[in-house]
Structures are given as structure tokens and as C-alpha cells.
A and B are shown apart, each in its own frame.
Chain A
């Protein structure tokens, strides 16, 4: 078996890549995808902890995270479609109607 810290390190790497994607990219779609990557990284940590500690609760936590991720994707992409219909762009630097 691989060490548990290997899974936790992998989870940290996935999370950091997601953070970089969110900070660096300007496209709302890429930002949403990066958020999904971050949620995946957290899920890996949950499942690894559950598996190595012999506790099924880790799997259930990951399951709940997946549910929230599905809801987030549905609402986020619906908002994106509505936004694109309204403003013809999904570049976050051009979406400044709340700024004045």
C-alpha cells in the first residue's frame, strides 16, 4: 500500500492547481472547472482518510461533496448561460456591472 501522505499530497496538489486556475484565468467556465478540480482534491483527501482509518464516514462526506458539486455546476452553468445571453461575454474582467 502507498503511504497515506502520498494521497494527501496529491490532494493538496489538485487543490492548488484549482486555486491557480481560479486566480489566473479570466474565463468563467475555466473558473468553474477549476472549482470542480478543487472539490475533487478535497474528495481525494476524504476518501483516503476514510480508507486508511477504516471509517466509511469519509466516503459519505465525499458523497455529500459530490452532491454539492453537482448542484454548484448546475446553478453556475445556468447563471453563465443567462449571463452570456445578457452580456455576450464570459470574461470576468468585463463583468463589472456591480462596480461603479
Chain B
């Protein structure tokens, strides 16, 4: 038992959860997006604690560098200044609380009551193992995932393109 490491874990976990709560309750979408950044960074910190170095780096690259930037783009493209407070947190409050309580009860009961055959592993690099498994045992999921990404990219470009009749330059200006 080393107390400082546990203390840092609880600090990072607290940051992650607090930022996640802020994402769900803040009325301003832009603030929610910034809170989401802290939540993603906190999860990356948790991966470091779990000695998943490759995944921590991927988390920062994909979520903070990719998805969050996309979200910010969407916030700026879909928001007039006055429309910043569309989200109304009082919507469906009782059903949300009920669903959340039941779900959390089931999940936490399972998490606490399941016995874990813990192997003491310490902090080892995992990147080489992940790369090897991706090229051997998990080759098919890897290739399927790459095809999925390609299809999603083409689909996203196609869907978000300006309409067929509209002139492109004018639409670009309107988008800004």
C-alpha cells in the first residue's frame, strides 16, 4: 500500500467525474465542451495509472486532438451567439434520475461483488504487445475498423457537403 499513489489516483478520478458532471449540467455548450476536455484528459491520466501507456497517448491524440476539435467546430458552426443556452437542464429530470439510480445500482453491485483474480504486474510497457496482437490475432477487427473509419470519413464529407444546387463559395461564406 502506497498512500501517495492512491491519493493521486483519487484526485485524477475526482477531476474526471467532476468534469463529466459539468458536461452534463452546464447550460452553455462551449463550457460543456471545455469540461469534456478535462474529462478526457483525466481518463488519459487513469490509463497512465493502469500502465496502458499506448492507450493514454491514443486517448490524448484521438479524443482531445480529434473528437474534441470536431465538437468545437460543430459548436461554432451551429451556434448563433444568442442561441448559446439552448440546453435546458430541467428536461426529464425525474426519469433521468430513476434510470441513473437503477443503472448505477446494478453496475456498482456487479463491480463490487465480482471477485477478481488480480495478477500483480507493475508498470510495464504494452505498446509492443498491442502492436503484435493487432497484426496477428486481432488482424480482422483491425482491418474492419480501418474500413469502417474510411466509410465514416467519406460519409461525413458527403453528408456535411453543401447542397447540390447551391454555389460552393457562397455556402462557405455562410458557414463562417
Q: Which residues of A contact B (CB under 8 A)?
A: 1-2, 4-21, 23-27, 29-30, 32-34, 36-37, 40, 43-44, 47-48, 50-54, 56-57, 59-60, 62-64, 66-75, 77-82, 84-85, 89-91, 93
Given contacts A29-B29, A51-B50, contact A66 B58 (CB under 8 A): yes
Specify which of A15, A26, A56 is in contact with B103 (CB 8 Å cutoff). Answer: A15
Tally of contact residues, B, Cβ under 8 A: 84
Since A5-B114, A7-B46, A16-B104 are in contact, a sample of 7 more A-B pairs with Cβ atoms closer than 8 Å, ordered by chain A residue number, is A10-B16, A12-B107, A29-B71, A33-B23, A33-B32, A66-B63, A74-B70
Contacts of B95 in A (CB 8 A): 23
Q: Which residues of B contact A (CB under 8 A)?
A: 5-6, 9, 13, 16-17, 20-21, 23-24, 29, 32-33, 36, 39-40, 43, 46-47, 49-52, 54-55, 58-59, 62-63, 66-67, 70-71, 73-75, 77-78, 86-89, 91-93, 95-97, 99-100, 103-104, 107-108, 110-112, 114, 116-121, 126, 129-130, 133-134, 138, 141, 145, 148-149, 151-153, 155-157, 159-160, 162-163
Check if A75 sits within 8 Å of B71, measured CB to CB. Answer: no
Given contacts A21-B24, A60-B130, contact A66 B141 (CB under 8 A): no
Main secondary structure of the interface of A (DSSP, over half): helix
Check if A48 sits within 8 Å of B149, measured CB to CB. Answer: no
Contacts of B74 in A (CB 8 A): 29, 77, 80-81
Contacts of B50 in A (CB 8 A): 7, 47-48, 50-51
Specify which of B36, B92, B96, B160 is in contact with A37 (CB 8 Å cutoff). Answer: B36
Check if A54 sits within 8 Å of B99, measured CB to CB. Answer: no
Check if A60 sits within 8 Å of B36, measured CB to CB. Answer: no
Sort A-B residue pairs by CB-CB distance and give the 10 closest, nearest first. Answer: A8-B111, A71-B152, A12-B107, A21-B24, A78-B156, A78-B160, A54-B119, A51-B50, A27-B87, A23-B96
Check if A84 sits within 8 Å of B78, measured CB to CB. Answer: yes
